[in-house]
Amino acid sequence: MFLKSSYEREIARFFQKLKNNEVQIKEATKGALSQARAKLNPWAFKRLNEVTYTTFYDEAEYLVWHDFRVLSIDGSTLRLPNTKEIKKEFGTYKAGPKADSEVAVARCSMLYDVFNQIVLSAEIKSYDTSEIAFVYESHMDKIQPGDLILADRLYGSYRMFFQLIEKGADFCIRMKNDWWNVVREFQNSNSNDKIVELTIPAHQAKEFGIEIKTMKCRLVKVKLDNGQTEILCTSLTDQVKYSVADFKSLYDARWTEEEAYKLLKARIELEDFTGKTSRSVYQDFYAKIFMMTCCASFCHPISEKIRIEHHKEKTKQKHSKMLNKTSAMSSFRDAIVNFFVKPIKSKIIVAYDELIYSYRIAIQENRKFERKKKPKKLYSPNYKGI
């Protein structure tokens, strides 16, 4: 699931590390690995991810915003190996200049802790699954009382708002400017902050089993750096405790999930799938989600150490520092055998922490670059790197 080269070379490297051999010795065949992998239930990685983040929240001093655990919801699409089985399982998309090339595509979604980089829930489904469906089918049961949900304008709906309130969670969600009457009126007004009352239509309350019929929420105008204005709808109605400026910085934190998708696709190479079956797609997806969560858990104390050091010496440092996530992930991949196969020794953890700490980099503030769209890199399971 984390292949950088062929099965044979990866097997040789694994056993060399496992047995501390000076040279690589062939211990198993690629056919044996393929047969064993076919028996592996992808659910195992989902369960490992759940154990990891549960342990993290139970034992770590994790980051919050005004005592809220801040979670973001967002989706994406994934290019899959173009086999008949995978097309049947996930669906297809017409690509190419004339839209006549049928490619296998899936849709995925994550519930993501934006301050601690923890994935609480991640799913991959057929391409025709709506991003809204992921919320109610996969993510909603992971949301707890005291959580604060961030989401883009795609997710703003009566059902979303009222179900989150019934769960004891709060929200800050971007709204479409021309969607609801109350939002249009607010958009055209001179006010930047307004408390409004929402009433859920009776048929929706009945259909979704919602008992609360009315709620007060708050509309806030936030001006972006490019001059555009966003309208946020939030359940945080205390205008003294939560200022308008607070919501701009809060909603900006949602970008962390976009960075998580970039890490998954560009660095962990999620779309570089290592098999041609639907089961291998599920295995790769959930295994790499688990890898990202586990790495974030291991690196959390180091990130906090870097942050505290900068706070103490900020007058001496020109730039604040942060963890290099790409280097941390690469090192974690190499250390997996030591962490999960061999008995964990304290000196290994210390050495890993020192290595991760050495990867800190300066944060160049206010750097903005125009996004350039590049063609997707096409991977082939038949041609592996060395």
Q: Tens of pLDDT along 219-253?
A: 999 987 777 889 999 999 999 999 999 999 999 99
Residues 21-33 pLDDT 10s: 778 878 888 888 8
Residues 80-99 pLDDT 10s: 999 999 999 999 998 877 77
Q: In this structure, is residue 31 part of a structural domain?
A: yes
pTM of the model: 0.88
Q: In this structure, is residue 26 part of a structural domain?
A: yes
Residues 282-305 pLDDT 10s: 999 999 999 999 999 989 988 888
Residues 131-166 pLDDT 10s: 999 999 999 999 999 999 999 999 999 999 999 999
pLDDT at 383: 57
pLDDT at 335: 78
Q: Is the pLDDT of residue 179 over 80?
A: no
Residues 341-352 pLDDT 10s: 767 667 778 888
Select, from the ranges 10-19, 69-78, 305-314, 343-352, the one with the highest average predicted confidence (pLDDT). 69-78
Q: In this structure, is residue 384 part of a structural domain?
A: no
Its domain, for residue 32, covers: 1-39
**Tokens, residue 192:** 């930047």
Q: In this structure, is residue 97 part of a structural domain?
A: no
pLDDT at 319: 65
Q: In this structure, is residue 353 part of a structural domain?
A: no
Share of the chain above pLDDT 70, in %: 89
pLDDT at 370: 65
pLDDT interval class at 1 (50, 70, 90) = low
Q: In this structure, is residue 7 part of a structural domain?
A: yes
Question: Region 117-138: what's the mean pLDDT?
Answer: 96
Q: In this structure, is residue 34 part of a structural domain?
A: yes
Query: For the chain, how many structural domains are there in total?
Result: 1
* Cα 239 to Cα 179: distance, rounded to the nearest angstrom: 24
Q: In this structure, is residue 179 part of a structural domain?
A: no
